[in-house]
Amino acid sequence: MDIFSVEYMEIFSIALFFLAYFGIITSKNIIKSIIFIMLMQTAAVMFWLKLGAETSAMPAPPIIYEADLLERAVFIADPLPQALTLTAIIIGFSVIAIIITMLNTLYRHHRTTDWGKLEKLVQ
């Protein structure tokens, strides 16, 4: 019952996802919301990685043709989720960077990062 093994990653990722979502709903500070969004992205990525590492999923490894290597190459991770998660991580990081830039501009002008106060100031 190794709790850090692959089988439990799915439950963890879904739990983290909804925990982060709950955090977004209840956070008063914009920076906290951004951090919770990053946690949601991490949860989604973790879910995909777990998909790729399921040892029973791949019936045959994609590129090996020699028969002797084939016997040793039983546990191959699926490459598609790995490519996907790379793309998702990059998209996530660049979008967060833009969000933080926008927040920086607003902060320089209004000197607050509170959701309620900023909404009132911006009207």
* Closer residue to another protein in complex, CB, 14/74: 14
> CB-hemisphere CA count at 13 Å for 79?
4
Output the CA torsion sign for 89, 95, 100, 104: positive
Q: Which residues bind another protein (CB under 8 A)?
A: 14, 17, 21, 24-27, 33-34, 37, 40-41, 43-44, 47-48, 51, 57, 80-81, 84, 87-88, 91-92, 94-96, 98-99, 102-103, 105-106, 109-110, 115-116, 118-119, 122-123
Distance of CA 30 to the CA centre of its chain: 19
Q: What count of other Cβ atoms lies within 10 Å of the Cβ of residue 101?
A: 10
- State the minimum distance, in angstroms, from the CB of residue 25 to another protein: 5
Look up residue 52 and give its two tokens.
Answer: 């790729």
- Taking the least distance from each CB to another protein, the nearer of 73 and 110 is 110
Looking at the Cβ atoms of 21 and 73, the one nearer to another protein is 21
Nearer to another protein, 1 or 123 (CB): 123
Q: Which residues, listed in sequence order, are joined to residue 29 by a DSSP beta bridge?
A: 114
